Structure 1
Amino acid sequence: MQSPSKLPDTLVCESVAVSGLQGWADLPDGLLQSIIALSGSFIDLLAFAGTCRSWRVAFSSYPSKSSIRTMLPPLLIRPNVRVKAPHLPSNNGHRKLRICQVLDLSKQNTTFRCQIPKETLQMMHFAGCSYGHLICCRRRYCVVVDVFSGAEVSPPRLPSSNDCEEFYYSGTLTAPLASPKSHLLISSQTSLFDWPVGSDTWFELQLDDARIEQIVEFNGKFIAMDYHYRIYTLQLAPRLGLQEIKTEWWDGMAECPYLRPWLVVCGDMLLIVDHCINLSYGAPVTYRPYRLDMTTKLAKWVEVKKLDNWALFVGGDVRSTPFSCMNPELWGGKRNCLYYAHYSQPMSIHGFGDQADVVWDRSTDPDLLYKRNWYRQLQALWVYPSMFYSDDE
């Protein structure tokens, strides 16, 4: 055993400080944050933050929440699976709440739940999910709802020339809701709307050619993809605008060969991913990711043969946020795989490229649909809780 004189100075200081403590609530932040770094699931972290005020403060000030999100899988929200929880409140003071099933892949034997306002699920149309919040719209009304607490923020009514029913193709936040840098972006068929959170004004950018279907943050920039799968950088100031990134598709193709691809940030790569139907024996679909190489004058999509120690997560709705997770073996997952959330069964697992047949589980329901689509009602989706984002992100 190592003698006290040989312990690192920081540990000696912590030991001295702990010796005079009266209870668990008095543990120093440094020691508490070292416990956070060793936690192996979101359920454990949520329990840690809910223990007492001092532990919650230690979690709130933890400087590496982004590293937690990279190392742990997102939570799977199943809004169609209602569960009983008599100890949880049935309303949030304003609206009735529906208690929905939540799965944590790192701790699948533990029961977990979230609460979403029933009115939001029944009356509003899903537009996106961002920073742990659902974004829902109907007509010109919009609401941003914390997936786990049910807390709501209502922006001003969206600008429009009439009150007709509109369909919104994407919704995203540019930063955590509490951040002074946070903007809410909503895309309709003909416009991209920007609401600086907390203001009383929407800004509108009219779109001439194609609606915006996805916006992601990559290397400090916002990247948007439109209906024709063209890529843009998006600027918020001094005015809302889009600047196309000229790209070259793989194999010399003039346009994107995918039917409904999505963008996902995976470490230092910006990937575009979709599936191809496989008519031969084995896995019914094959996924192939391509990364955007912007080191040349004309950006190129380059095939990624293997994602090494990464796993991807995607839901069935085009507007649900895809995620990536590093070293999935640490929580019992599989590397170089895609976890696809479904409505009827929790998920299916797909290997990329040549790994498709090796990974495929033949007991999976063969009638499941694999292409992503737009749905008015909320589908199963992956989420990181809002408390795992910092205001300065």
Structure 2
Amino acid sequence: MANRTCSASVSSLFASSRPQGWAELPDDLLRPVVALLRLFRDLLAFGTTCRHWCDLLSAHRSSVQPLLLHPNLRTDDGQSLSHNCWTLFHKCTWRLADPAATSSSRSFLSLSDLRSMTFLHCSYGQLIFYHNNGFHIVNPFTGAKVGPPSLRSVPFTCISYVTLTAPVASADSHLLVSAGAYLFLWRIGGDSWTKHSPKVGRFLIEQSVAFKGKTYALGSFGWFYIIHLSPSLIIQKFKIVFEEDITEDLYSANDKAWLVVCGDALLLIKLVEAGRGMRSEAFQFMAFKLESFDTMTKKARWVKVNKLDNWAIFISVDERCEALSCMNPEGWGGRSNHIYFPSYQSEKPWAAVQLWKKMLLPFDVFAALQHWKTVPEIGVNLGLSRAFPRSGLR
């Protein structure tokens, strides 16, 4: 069918009497091309050809696999480099690991000017840093940076969470900063910050995702929030309750969990220890789907998801990096119903575990997953189609 579509499109293209550029090629000709692309370099080349092609690729972002950006902690002469929570970039080279490729390769990106900056979060394919009383939103593929006015009234030590609410090219994109009892919002490209007081008791965001026009956040002490950004800031607070709970307090701040959007469902992925061994650890990933909200009891109910169908999920050991989903991973050689995470091996930078399946892993890999809140990992998941440069970004 793709061949017939291509043939018909080519015929109509050359039948046109006027010259046409790359941006004017019809979508029904380009879509089969996108479906055939597998490797990161090919996708990047396609997406950076022109804005039209970038928009077309972004529309198919759910089927594009994330990348793993991680530092090479050894110099060319074999010397080891210190690695401190992504704050030291001096003499550090970077590698991009594509799950569709056999191994990672040296990145062509230059991030050397980011040394001494403090890495805060990865959101919509952008890296968010803090330096000299200011935030910096960095496109890791181009090095382009954008930043808000200085938030001088808030000490850096008070900042607990930072994220984007939408891709930087979106008209609704804001930088959201949680600090103490307040939330601060800066519209990308704006001149000032807006300050809000949530008034929902103790408020500490650990993760957030945008889903169906709202922002959902996972907080400390088992709380779950719905954040309405417009027309005015409103926050609803709910307790997390799983379907099979008896005590209704299974989830706690100590659980390893990730929020991720899979199509029309909002999922919570949990990492649960399944056993112990001398040299390896057994664990399994569980999945739950947001089912309903009870506004009377202030509880958010989640039901068990047995299979991810044609989806794969990429998680990061580093809590500063959001989880990403990928549809039809078999198209690039991946596996559906699997959780992908960094393996810390240069020859095989990604590892995959089937959902709900108990798995034994080497102790160092399990330890990294087990202590994900305290041990910085060496990888960042980048949503490839979300990180292409757009016009207007300087």
What's the TM-score bracket when you normalise by the shorter of the two chains?
A: 0.7 to 0.9
Q: Is the 8 A contact 2:47 2:388 kept in 1?
A: no
Across the aligned residues of Structure 1 and Structure 2, the Cα RMSD in angstroms comes to 3.6
Out of 252, 257, 261, the residue aligned to residue 257 of structure 2 is 261
Segments of structure 2 that go 5 or more residues without pairing to the other structure are 77-88
Inter-partner Cα distance in structure 2 for 1:24 and 1:81 = 47
1:235 aligns with 2:228: yes
Inter-partner Cα distance in structure 2 for 1:176 and 1:262 = 20
Instruction: Quote the residue 1:107 is aligned against.
Output: 101
Deviations 1:99-132 (A, max 9, x none): 4100111133574515253343x32222211122
Q: Aligned pair in 2 of structure 1 residues 228, 279: CA closer, same or farther (>3 Å)?
A: same
Instruction: Quote the residue 1:294 is aligned against.
Output: 292
Instruction: Quote the residue 1:204 is aligned against.
Output: 195
Kindly state the Cα deviation for residue 18 of structure 1 after the two structures are TM-superposed.
3.0
Segments of structure 1 that go 5 or more residues without pairing to the other structure are 1-6, 85-94
Kindly state the Cα deviation for residue 246 of structure 1 after the two structures are TM-superposed.
5.3
Out of 253, 275, 279, the residue aligned to residue 271 of structure 2 is 275
Q: TM-score, normalised by structure 1?
A: 0.78
Inter-partner Cα distance in structure 2 for 1:149 and 1:203 = 29
Q: Aligned pair in 2 of structure 1 residues 253, 147: CA closer, same or farther (>3 Å)?
A: farther
Aligned-pair identity in percent equals: 30
Instruction: Quote the residue 1:284 is aligned against.
Output: 282
Q: Aligned pair in 2 of structure 1 residues 377, 205: CA closer, same or farther (>3 Å)?
A: farther
Instruction: Quote the residue 1:187 is aligned against.
Output: 178
Kindly state the Cα deviation for residue 178 of structure 1 after the two structures are TM-superposed.
2.4
Inter-partner Cα distance in structure 2 for 1:324 and 1:265 = 7
Kindly state the Cα deviation for residue 156 of structure 1 after the two structures are TM-superposed.
1.0
Residues 19-98 of structure 1 correspond to what in structure 2 (within 5 A)?
A: 29-30=25-26, 31-49=29-47, 55-62=49-56, 65-67=58-60, 69-81=61-73
SS across alignment from 1:370? helix
1:170 aligns with 2:161: yes
Runs of 4+ in structure 1 over 6 Å off: 19-27, 375-378
Higher strand share: 2
Q: TM-score, normalised by structure 2?
A: 0.78
Instruction: Quote the residue 1:91 is aligned against.
Output: none
> What amino acid is the match of 2:111?
P
SS across alignment from 1:289? strand
Instruction: Quote the residue 2:14 is aligned against.
Output: 18
Kindly state the Cα deviation for residue 244 of structure 1 after the two structures are TM-superposed.
2.0
Q: Is the 8 A contact 2:318 2:376 kept in 1?
A: no
> What amino acid is the match of 1:117?
L
Inter-partner Cα distance in structure 2 for 1:108 and 1:24 = 38
Instruction: Report the count of equivalent residues.
Output: 362
SS across alignment from 2:268? strand
Inter-partner Cα distance in structure 2 for 1:269 and 1:286 = 21
1:123 aligns with 2:124: no
> What amino acid is the match of 2:68?
L
Q: Is the 8 A contact 1:126 1:376 kept in 2?
A: no
1:383 aligns with 2:382: yes
Deviations 1:133-188 (A, max 9, x none): 10112573211100111111121112426xx5415333221222122211011223
Inter-partner Cα distance in structure 2 for 1:376 and 1:157 = 29
Deviations 1:182-238 (A, max 9, x none): 101122343322111111211223454031111101122111221123112112223
SS across alignment from 1:290? strand
